[in-house]
Amino acid sequence: KAGVTQTPRYLIKTRGQQVTLSCSPISGHRSVSWYQQTPGQGLQFLFEYFSETQRNKGNFPGRFSGRQFSNSRSEMNVSTLELGDSALYLCASTRGQNYGYTFGSGTRLTVV
Amino acid sequence: DQQVKQNSPSLSVQEGRISILNCDYTNSMFDYFLWYKKYPAEGPTFLISISSIKDKNEDGRFTVFLNKSAKHLSLHIVPSQPGDSAVYFCAATPNTGNQFYFGTGTSLTVIP
């Protein structure tokens, strides 16, 4: 079956702009989480959605937001981009806590 | 506040030898632990997991050990192969939540 699909793979934006990233989970997975990966920081949790509701939120400013649609697809939005937002953004889906995550390949965002 | 820590950013091991990757955690509510492997330009892939009711789980060349009293887990790879060269992340989750907490990763290089 198809894996977790993230689009686009690469993005270059300028400071102050906003960006929307997309994630299509594995069919049947209703939980979608987003992580930010930067060198030396590991994977930092952004938020988790389940059945169109945000269930958990990490320690990121309000410029980072997300949503989930009825088909479980999720989008993440970052407004007023800063240079420090340059990172690999990973989306992961799961059918339950004890099944672990399946990650997408990520979107590499570069802010210039 | 890094609740899951991987204190060794890198590790080099000769092919055929054992690789030991370590992970420490601070939250006693964590009860499920996972290891992920990540190649460049790809999302992390699930490797092996362990529940807090066990102290060892084995899958082929990979074994995870959990020491709950020390809040420490380790991943053993025996024998190590050049294809194992990647970044390894440990992750943990509490029994009440849906959020996985990741370490900062250890970059393993297996030298042929």
Which pLDDT tens digit goes with each residue over B80-95?
Answer: 999 999 999 999 988 6
β-strand pairing of A107-111 with A10-13: parallel
**CB-facing half-sphere around the CA of B84: CA atoms within 13 A:** 27
Name the more confident of A100 and B39: B39
Six token digits for residue B50: 């362990």
**Interface residues from chain A to B (CB-CB < 8 Å):** 4, 6, 31, 33, 35, 40-45, 48, 50, 55-56, 58, 90, 92, 97-98, 100-106
Six token digits for residue A87: 């990172």
The Cα–Cα gap between B79 and B29 comes to 33
**CB-facing half-sphere around the CA of B11: CA atoms within 13 A:** 24
* Residue A89 confidence (pLDDT): 96
Six token digits for residue A46: 């952004």
Given a cut of 80, whether residue A64 has pLDDT beyond it is yes
Average pLDDT over residues B71-80: 97
What's the farthest any 2 CA atoms get from each other in chain A?
39
Determine whether B65 is exposed, middle or buried from the number of CB atoms within 10 Å of its CB (0-12, 13-18, 19+): middle
Six token digits for residue A39: 């060198």
Do the beta carbons of residue A102 and residue A93 sit within 8 Å? Answer: yes
* Residue A91 confidence (pLDDT): 96
Given a cut of 70, whether residue A97 has pLDDT beyond it is no
- The band of A42, judged by pLDDT with boundaries at 50, 70 and 90, is confident
B10-46 pLDDT tens trace: 999 999 999 999 999 999 999 899 999 999 878 899 8
Q: Does B27 touch chain A (CB under 8 A)?
A: no
Residue B105's H or E segment, with its range, is none
Region of A43 please: left (phi>0), alpha (psi -120 to 50) or beta. Answer: beta
- The band of A39, judged by pLDDT with boundaries at 50, 70 and 90, is confident
- The band of A1, judged by pLDDT with boundaries at 50, 70 and 90, is low
Name the more confident of A57 and A39: A57
Percent of residues, chain A, with pLDDT higher than 70: 96
* Residue B38 confidence (pLDDT): 92
How many helices and strands, by DSSP H and E, does chain B display? 0, 11
Alpha-carbon distance A90 to nearest alpha carbon in chain B (angstroms): 7
Establish, for the pair of chains A and B, how many residue pairs have beta carbons separated by less than 8 Å.
Answer: 64
Alpha-carbon distance B25 to nearest alpha carbon in chain A (angstroms): 14
